[in-house]
Amino acid sequence: MKKNILRVGAAVLAAIMLLTLAACGTEKTPPVINIIINGGGVAVDGGGAVVNTQPPVQTPTQTPPAASETTAPPASGESTTAGSGTPAATTTANQQDGAETPTTEPSAPVNTNEKSKAEILAIYTEVMNKAKTDQPKRSQKEYQTIPGDAANRQINASATIINQLLNLAGNFMTTEDQAEWENFDKGNDMRWFPVNKTAKGCLLTDANAIKEAKYEILPNGNAQVTIVLNDENNPEPPDDGATTSPSYHGAMFSPLSKNEIDAEILGNSLVTALLKDVDYSLVYHDCTAVLEFNPDTKQIVNLDHEMVVEITAKATALFVVKIDLVQQLYNNLKVKDFEY
């Protein structure tokens, strides 16, 4: 996780510095560069000149987590407290053939149990804590995404530099195609299984931190819980071995630590020499956990975590160039092939 923290911080700061070099040339007045990288859309306005003929597209190219979408009322087998989500692909609790889980959607659930957010959180906590204690065999992978495509990327100045910038930022990320499944034998210490570096699989106790929650029974008999948390600014993860978390995202997911980014990146003498008045934030929104498990044994079948982070950064580069950057970052964790 610390490696990922450094990659994300470096990508953001590298973006700022590259644009600074692109902007400082023949400008006689202090240029102002406004960059919006939001779901891949990019707009640049340099030196106060109007260079865009139409407003920048700021709609993320990656559809927000399905659990946060507003849909029709749930089918008779779903239990939901707000919104609804697309059920994840399923396997039976005893399937251990090592193949990737199919991505096809299951048919409509068949159970009619209604559960509150607090009840769903309690179920999730019980199943995740059991996994931490039982230390099952499993496979997991983690990857990041900066959404973007030609249809949603507007570049009206310094096109070459902007493309180099986006390519550089992407180099700091592990994409889904690049991510490899990491195998953990039974009896492992579960240190890098959520919640990272703690003895518990979930430290969240306040159901008010939940924006949406859904419980359903799938056609194969497995249960599935979907939880979406409320937005949170600069959440910190729990300390190593902690039993509580300073944030509710840290109590369920593995958020990037702004404190560590400050220490490792902003503490760099080269960065501080180039950038002044640096101000940035990490807003976690629509972060979603989808847990499929055997309701009788409480053994996990599949676990999907998606964290969506809006990185906002402002700075003055080389004393004259004003930088304003916003970028959406998607972090995904997938875990499968559990053997208890």
What pLDDT sits at residue 9?
52
* Residue predicted with more confidence, 169 or 298: 298
Amino acid occupying residue 336: K
* Residue predicted with more confidence, 162 or 217: 217
Radius of gyration of the chain (CA): 22
In the predicted model, what is the mean pLDDT of residues 83-97?
41
CA 316 – CA 96 distance, rounded (Å): 54
Strand-strand pairing, 223-229 and 210-217: antiparallel
In the predicted model, what is the mean pLDDT of residues 182-202?
94
DSSP sequence for 72-94: SPPPTTEEESSS--PPPP---TT
Q: Are 217 and 294 in contact (CB under 8 A)?
A: no
Which residues, other chains included, contact 105 with Cβ-Cβ below 8 Å and sequence gap of 6+?
A: 86, 87, 89
Phi/psi of residue 321, nearest 5 degrees: -90, 120
In the predicted model, what is the mean pLDDT of residues 114-124?
96
Phi/psi of residue 232, nearest 5 degrees: -150, 135
Q: What are the distances in angstroms from CA 153 to CA 2, 21, 33, 262?
A: 30, 21, 16, 30
The band of 237, judged by pLDDT with boundaries at 50, 70 and 90, is: very high
Q: How many CB atoms lie within 10 A of CB 18?
A: 18
The band of 61, judged by pLDDT with boundaries at 50, 70 and 90, is: very low
* Residue predicted with more confidence, 6 or 280: 280
Q: What are the b/e assignments for 86-105, b being 16+ CB within 10 Å?
A: ebbbbbebebeeeeebeeee
Angle of the 159-171 helix axis to the 2-23 helix axis, nearest 10: 170
CA 193 – CA 29 distance, rounded (Å): 52
What residue ranges do the domains of the chain occupy?
Answer: 2-339
* Residue predicted with more confidence, 277 or 228: 228
Task: Among 108-117, 147-156, 212-221, 246-255, name the one with the lowest average pLDDT.
Answer: 147-156
Closest C-alpha among 85, 81, 74, 78 to residue 116: 81
Torsion of CA 241, 242, 245, 251, to 10 degrees: 50
Phi/psi of residue 309, nearest 5 degrees: -120, 125
Q: Tokens 């973007």, residue?
A: 148
In the predicted model, what is the mean pLDDT of residues 32-54?
39
The band of 170, judged by pLDDT with boundaries at 50, 70 and 90, is: low
Closest C-alpha among 312, 335, 333 to residue 174: 333
CA 74 – CA 109 distance, rounded (Å): 10
Kindly state the tokens that stand for 53.
């003929």
What pLDDT sits at residue 213?
97
Q: Is 297 helix (H, G, I), strand (E, B) or coil?
A: coil
CA 162 – CA 159 distance, rounded (Å): 5
Closest C-alpha among 122, 137, 121, 78 to residue 299: 137
The distance of Cα 256 from the centroid of its chain, to the nearest Å, equals 10
The band of 321, judged by pLDDT with boundaries at 50, 70 and 90, is: low
The band of 326, judged by pLDDT with boundaries at 50, 70 and 90, is: confident
Whether this prediction's pTM lies above 0.85 is answered by no
Q: What is the pLDDT of residues 23-37, one digit of tens each?
A: 333 333 344 434 444
